[in-house]
Amino acid sequence: AAIRASGLKICVEVGDQDNLMLHDAAELLHRILWDQRIEHTYYLHHGADHVGSSMAWRMEALCQWLGRTWNDLHASEEERAIRHAPPSANEREWMGFIQGQRDRPDGPPPDWSGDRMIAIMRYGQGLAVRAHYGEQTDGPDFLEGFKWRSGGKA
């Protein structure tokens, strides 16, 4: 619970042909983090070894992850609101339209490709779906009768 509550950003990266067999340890760590609902990024690169030519593009991907993470951590309140603020009346009308629940709204459509769409889609989920699955990083304890995650919520 302390790791989950800390906001620590975690990235696990490994090649699936690692000659030190670290892909097994990385997979175990990923599954533990997933089971305990600890947010993390997991890169398992097909055909990549512990060393070799794949390191060039893998390090580039890690640098991109670091950049995105830094930007997210240093985002302004306005930038955070783009992803998290409840949808406006116009945005709710457009969600109703694309879900087939109403006629085309008069207002301009939202930017379907931008980050604002993240918040619109989250609020577009029905209450029953949100009650069952929780927030995006929660997920159900069981999925189709199979144990999916532990109940380790913060």
Give the pLDDT of residue 56. Answer: 98
Give the pLDDT of residue 154. Answer: 47
33: enclosing H helix or E strand:
helix 22-35
What is the spatial distance between Cα 53 and Cα 50, in angstroms, rounded to a whole number?
10
Query: pTM score, two decimals?
Result: 0.74
Give the pLDDT of residue 121. Answer: 82
Q: Which residues contact 90 (CB under 8 A, 6 or more apart)?
A: 105, 107, 108, 110
Give the pLDDT of residue 153. Answer: 53
What residue ranges of the chain have pLDDT lower than 70? 132-136, 151-154
